[in-house]
Every structure is written in structure tokens, then in C-alpha cells.
Amino acid sequence: MSSYRLKRLFALLVLLLWLPLYIVLVLNLLTFFERPNLFIELLIYIIVGVFWAWPFKALFKGIGQPNKKK
């Protein structure tokens, strides 16, 4: 199995397993606090929406490109 295929498989697992788990964790964490102002709440969702992918930036880079054959 090539490293490109393995990278694509791992990216798929991140999207199918980690992302839903992350959403549930964030929403449950936010229920512990009083609901903030609409703009603050929007800012929180934007920040956590970007933060989930930041550790996987290198993984997702080049996934949409065609496989380079040697």
C-alpha cells in the first residue's frame, strides 16, 4: 500500500470518526456555560470549527491532488 493511499485512508478516518466526536465534545462542553451573546457564540463556533483541522493540516495537504505515479 502506498503512502498516498494510506494518507487518504487516515484522512477519511479523521473525517468520519474524529470530526463527529469533536463536535459532540465541543457541544457538550459548551452546555456547561451560560449561553453568550450571539456574536460571541458565533466567534466561538468559528474558532472551534477551524481548530479541529489545525493538527491535521499536513495530513489534508495534497489529498485532493491526483496520485503521482513514479
Residue numbers of the domain that contains 20: 3-60
pLDDT value of residue 68: 65
The set of residues, in sequence order, having a beta carbon less than 8 Å from that of 34 and lying 6+ positions away, is none
pLDDT in tens, 15-47: 999 999 999 999 999 999 898 899 999 999 999
The whole-angstrom separation of Cα 45 and Cα 12 is 23
User: Cell for 9?
Assistant: 485512508
Residue 30 within a domain: yes
> Does the pLDDT value for residue 67 go beyond 70?
no
The set of residues, in sequence order, having a beta carbon less than 8 Å from that of 21 and lying 6+ positions away, is none
The residue type found at 10 is F
Residue 45 within a domain: yes
Residue 70 within a domain: no
Question: Binning pLDDT at 50, 70 and 90, where does residue 65 land?
Answer: confident
Structural domain count of the chain: 1
pLDDT value of residue 60: 85
Output the pTM of the full model: 0.75
Identify the helix (H) or strand (E) that includes residue 23.
Answer: helix 19-30
Residue 67 within a domain: no
